[in-house]
Amino acid sequence: MASLLQDRLTTDQDLLLMQEGMLMRKVRSKSWKKLRYFRLQNDGMTVWHARQARGSAKPSFSISDVETIRNGHDSELLRSLTEELPLEQGFTVVFHGRRSNLDLVANSVEEAQIWMRGLHLLVDLVTSMDHQERLDQWLSDWFQRGDKNQDGKMSFQEVQRLLHLMNVEMDQEYAFSLFQAADTSQSGTLEGEEFVQFYKALTKRAEVQELFESFSADGQKLTLLEFLDFLREEQKERDCTSELALELIDRYEPSDSGKLRHVLSMDGFLSYLCSKDGDIFNPDCLPIYQDMTQPLNHYFICSSHNTYLVGDQLCGQSSVEGYIRALKRGCRCVEVDVWDGPSGEPVVYHGHTLTSRILFKDVVATVAQYAFQTSDYPVILSLETHCSWEQQQTMARHLTEILGEQLLSTTLDGVLPTQLPSPEELRRKILVKGKKLTLEEDLEYEEEEVEPELEGEHESELALESQFETEPEPEPQEQNLQIKDKKKVVTCPLFCPSICCQIVTQAPISKPESLLLSRQKSKNILCPALSSLVIYLKSVSFRSFTHSKEHYHFYEISSFSETKAKRLIKEAGNEFVQHNTWQLSRVYPSGLRTDSSNYNPQELWNAGCQMVAMNMQTAGLEMDICDGHFRQNGGCGYVLKPDFLRDNQSSFHPERPISPFKAQTLLIQVISGQQLPKLNKTKEGSIVDPLVKVQIFGVRLDTARQETNYVENNGFNPYWGQTLCFRVLVPELAMLRFVVMDYDWKSRNDFIGQYTLPWTCMQQGYRHIHLLSKDGISLCPASIFVYICIREDLEGDES
């Protein structure tokens, strides 16, 4: 069980010092700053903390939960405490998922550097582990937990305790027979390799052994041809060649002799089934595999609502961390609600609530830093501006100065396009979405009132009219416009912003005009400097699909509350689909969701809505669907819509799908589960009773769920062997969610783990589904083993 990690723990100076422990200040807020003694455990995988060096310690965090380490200068909280705590001695532990960051301040710069270097090293070692290495490390962790007296050996009593910790209810006599068989030294205890053998006996996969023997002539190995037959017949990989089968043998067969003879042993076969090649998610869909040269409106775009919030909508904390987390998970549209702040600096927060405030310039700087760390494709800043004229000018200055070349400030080629540019054309560009003045308004500061565009949660569906709404513009064309007979301009009303602003400053303004300007400044009209930064994404209010078709243009975008969007889908589903083939739509959660809960994005994707904004700080079924949908295509935040949602003559209606869609039947045999986590880790006797629920989300007629029976007292290797059957009319829109639950006859079943993926990314055959937590973090090695079969519906009946 020795590993590179164990070698480093005994040789790396930083890790040795971390194992001795250090006193550091843990910082939770401006008022909560307490000394704690932190120490890296001997397993190298966990950090514990105590109030003092010899005090009672408890786990602080696991290395596998750590995403990265940041220095003190990058900590929003530590920067606010620079007068009290030196930034050079601080650092931040950033975790996967939604767990709050851990800010620490060491006693010296040297001690801070020791922990930063050491943690970086450990995180790199863990993330570079392959499946077998992760399994070995997982096994080592269990050995450490089971070895209660830490003597490097495990008695049978300790093994019994460990079985309960591992979610196993086993007959004592059978457990003792496995223990004796593994105790080759006959010492009455299990040491390193003996414990490995005990674990292998414990996890023997009878269902996999039976599958292996059904294709193996001698029951000992799979020849190259036998393995090829398995891949073609059972895994439905019809085009698999001998070369590919040989490549898989070289990749997963553990023995050198097996590789030389081109055969796959039982261990190699199991290793293949547990790998990415044996995963339910098709590895061909993991990199960017879709056409990225189509107009923006042809894609689903991963979008965030009130991105600055990391809590609820009424009293939650506003933080740049919300933008960091959203952008790093591939989100491509983030929301910024901007209000007048003190000292002339605009602030971002949820207006008219008790949420905290952050500086607009800090948000822009954060977006500039993290926009393209996960994806090179364009980021959209959805601005909701409530600022005065002066602070709008400050906003415009921050956007141009901080974003620099990243900011798209003019059309790509300087001429009026006929359609939106593609994600490929906009690589590494940041676009501003927001209100925009017509050219006349840019020049003469005229303000006209129309029906409000109810964008954002600040306005309910009965809200007052928006301050910045303008009448629909005429079709873009060259215009000769006169300003007080002083100057003529020939320009496009949308795509030459620099001219608009230039003329405003150059044209003489008479005294009456100056009074008008002063009066309208007090009414918070939109200033040209900010207006000019909106290029392809001009916000306009939605009146009707007919009105949009007659008055709006492809570069304009409307926002809908979830309530209004769902109503439109029911009343005019096909019109909504056609609308979304030529114009972008953004949907946002109801203002009643003050707890930052989410709605099901699938209902809006069915109508082709591109930007379905989610409260990304809130885990749950809805975010599982969103994360699963955007897991494909390199996780780049853009997913190409099906062709029937891109055709402006489409007859598709999400409520009543008809031909030419071909229905498919899905058969899922839920076979077994492996190493499911305990829900209550503090109670040794608590063992789960797992069941598997399969849910399908798509068009309304396809939405369904079925579940297996539960297996009593076995979370370690439960066996179900049950087959579930689904019929789906529009597989192109379907999402599958596998959920493992702990059966509870007294109350609701408890969540154990889940995995969600698009139907179009699902592989057939015998597949493992590697489970994720509520936060989308891997629960390795927890998985379920299934058999997937998809059949075309020959009769094509969609009713």
Q: Is 347's pLDDT higher than 50?
A: yes
Residues 177, 257, single domain; the answer is no
Predicted confidence at residue 173, as pLDDT, reads: 86
State the pTM of this model. Answer: 0.86
184, 203, 222 — which closes off a domain? 203
Cβ neighbors of 472 (< 8 A, separation 6 or more) are 540, 547, 551, 552
Predicted confidence at residue 45, as pLDDT, reads: 86
User: What is the average per-residue pLDDT within 668-688?
Assistant: 80
User: What is the average per-residue pLDDT within 704-733?
Assistant: 95
591: domain CATH number is 3.20.20.190
DSSP states of 526-579 as a string? Answer: PPHHHHTTEEEEEE-----HHHHHHH--TTEEEEEEHHHHHHHHHHHHHHHHHH
Q: Where would I find the beta strands (DSSP E) of 154-292?
A: 221-222, 264-265
Cα dihedral 203, 8, 127, 145 in deg (nearest 10): 40
Among 128-142, 378-392, 627-641, the least confident range: 128-142
Residues 306, 404, single domain; the answer is yes
Buried-state track 171-204, b at ≥16 Cβ within 10 A, e below 16: eeeebeebbeebbeeeeebbbeebbbebbeebbe
Residues 656, 729: Cα–Cα separation, whole Å: 10
Q: Rounded to 5 degrees, what angle do the CA atoms 487, 489, 492 make?
A: 155
Q: Is 133's pLDDT higher than 80?
A: no
Residues 432, 408: Cα–Cα separation, whole Å: 8
Residues 692, 305: Cα–Cα separation, whole Å: 32
Residues 311, 365, single domain; the answer is yes
Q: 3-class DSSP state for residue 113?
A: helix
**CA end-to-end span of the chain, whole Å?**
58
177: domain CATH number is 1.10.238.10
The strand pairing partners of 347, in sequence order, are 339, 359
Residues 641, 683, single domain; the answer is no
Predicted confidence at residue 206, as pLDDT, reads: 93
Q: Are strands 379-386 and 333-339 parallel, antiparallel or unpaired?
A: parallel
Predicted confidence at residue 535, as pLDDT, reads: 93
User: What is the average per-residue pLDDT within 627-650?
Assistant: 97
Residues 228, 576: Cα–Cα separation, whole Å: 47
State the angle between helix axes of 109-127 and 4-11 in degrees (0 to 180), rounded to the nearest 10.
160
- Is 547 catalytic? The answer is no
Q: Where are the alpha helices (DSSP H) in 55-155?
A: 76-79, 109-127, 131-146
612 in a structural domain: yes
Residues 465, 705: Cα–Cα separation, whole Å: 43
The answer to whether residues 38 and 48 touch, using CB atoms and an 8 Å cutoff, is yes
Among 158-167, 422-431, 701-710, the least confident range: 158-167
The strand pairing partners of 786, in sequence order, are 670, 767
Q: Rounded to 5 degrees, what angle do the CA atoms 10, 11, 15 make?
A: 75
pLDDT digits (tens, 9 = 90+) for 436-455: 986 444 444 433 333 333 34
Residues 119, 154, single domain; the answer is no
Please give the helix or strand (H or E) that residue 493 lies within, else none.
none
Residues 274, 173, single domain; the answer is no
Predicted confidence at residue 372, as pLDDT, reads: 98
617, 645, 673 — which closes off a domain? 645
The active-site residue out of 49, 262, 298, 305 is 305
The answer to whether residues 624 and 776 touch, using CB atoms and an 8 Å cutoff, is yes
Q: Of 666, 667, 662, 733, which is closest to residue 699 (Cα–Cα)?
A: 733
Residues 371, 365: Cα–Cα separation, whole Å: 10
17: domain CATH number is 2.30.29.30
**Between residues 620 and 475, the one the model is more confident about:** 620
Q: Is 285's pLDDT higher than 70?
A: yes
Residues 578, 611, single domain; the answer is yes
187 in a structural domain: yes
696 in a structural domain: yes
pLDDT digits (tens, 9 = 90+) for 8-66: 888 999 999 999 999 999 999 989 999 999 999 888 888 999 988 888 888 899 898 99
pLDDT digits (tens, 9 = 90+) for 326-337: 999 999 999 999
473 in a structural domain: no
Residues 793, 795: Cα–Cα separation, whole Å: 6
**Between residues 682 and 263, the one the model is more confident about:** 263
Residues 189, 210, single domain; the answer is no
Max mean pLDDT range (2-6, 126-130, 247-251): 247-251
Q: Is 199's pLDDT higher than 90?
A: no
- Name the average pLDDT for the chain: 86
| Full residue range of the structural domain in which residue 86 is found | 4-129
Predicted confidence at residue 277, as pLDDT, reads: 96
Residues 641, 646: Cα–Cα separation, whole Å: 7
Residues 269, 402, single domain; the answer is no
**Between residues 44 and 631, the one the model is more confident about:** 631
- Is 579 catalytic? The answer is no
Cα dihedral 622, 628, 633, 636 in deg (nearest 10): 50
Predicted confidence at residue 141, as pLDDT, reads: 75
pLDDT digits (tens, 9 = 90+) for 137-192: 777 777 777 777 767 788 888 888 888 777 777 778 888 898 899 888 889 888 87
The active-site residue out of 49, 350, 629, 653 is 350
**Between residues 562 and 183, the one the model is more confident about:** 562
Among 220-234, 613-627, 646-660, 688-702, the least confident range: 646-660
284 in a structural domain: no
Residues 392, 541, single domain; the answer is yes
714 in a structural domain: yes
Residues 317, 432: Cα–Cα separation, whole Å: 24
Q: Of 344, 339, 343, which is closest to residue 318 (Cα–Cα)?
A: 339
User: What is the average per-residue pLDDT within 269-274?
Assistant: 94
Q: Using 50, 70 and 90 to split pLDDT, how confident is the model at 524?
A: low
Among 164-173, 424-433, 528-537, 768-777, the least confident range: 164-173
**Between residues 472 and 552, the one the model is more confident about:** 552
Q: Is 2's pLDDT higher than 60?
A: no
173, 203, 233 — which closes off a domain? 203
Cβ neighbors of 360 (< 8 A, separation 6 or more) are 336, 338, 341, 345, 346, 347, 348, 394, 395, 398
Predicted confidence at residue 640, as pLDDT, reads: 98
- Sign of the dihedral defined by the CA atoms of residues 262, 263, 265, 271, in that order: positive
User: What is the average per-residue pLDDT within 285-300?
Assistant: 98
Residues 391, 535, single domain; the answer is yes
The answer to whether residues 721 and 733 touch, using CB atoms and an 8 Å cutoff, is no
Residues 141, 134: Cα–Cα separation, whole Å: 10
716 in a structural domain: yes
Q: Of 772, 672, 777, which is closest to residue 717 (Cα–Cα)?
A: 672
582 in a structural domain: yes
User: What is the average per-residue pLDDT within 620-639?
Assistant: 98
Residues 32, 161, single domain; the answer is no
Total structural domains in the chain?
5
